[in-house]
Amino acid sequence: MPGCEYRGARVLGRLAWVAEDEAGLPVAFVGAEIYDRPPFLDADGRPSHPAPTWEGPTAGVILCVDPSRWGRCYGRAALLAVTASSEIRRVEWLVAGIDSRHLASQRCAAAAGFVPTSVEPDREGMVNWIRRPLR
């Protein structure tokens, strides 16, 4: 909730989008939680390892694509649309925590211009992938 803390960062707001195909049917959901800085603590309250190396307002992004639509670039298109959204321009960074073993999610993030911040996963097996929003 806005005003609360999440992993050491203050939550400023939340956004959500639903991506539709050419027929107007939903194909993907993107959610974003806006923080005053990168979340820098693990779920157990310990400092993240590796620690975030970027600074400034950050949006944590989650993407869900209809499984029957996987492999058709809907995820990439949805992420690209979010990076261009006027609602996201107040942040410096978009970040997606991706399981280090989830290659399809990594390929999708890379296709949308996200880059991993580390080759080493954190203690939870995740790697942060970041990119700046389009200005």
Summarize pLDDT for 42-57 with one digit per residue, the tens. 888 899 888 888 999 9
End-to-end CA distance of the chain: 27
3-state secondary structure of 125: coil
Amino acid at site 24: G
- Tell which residue, 59, 58, 71, has the closest CA to residue 28: 71
Residue 96: how many CB atoms within 10 A of its CB? 25
Q: What is the DSSP string of 33-92?
A: EEESS---B-TTSSBPSSPP---S-EEEEEEEE-GGGTTSSHHHHHHHHHHT-GGGTT-S
What are the tens digits of pLDDT across the range 22-75?
999 999 999 999 999 999 998 888 998 888 889 999 999 999 999 999 999 999
> What residue ranges do the domains of the chain occupy?
5-131
CATH architecture of 5-131: 3-Layer(aba) Sandwich (3.40)
- Tell which residue, 75, 121, 76, has the closest CA to residue 101: 121
Give the predicted TM-score (pTM) of the model.
0.90
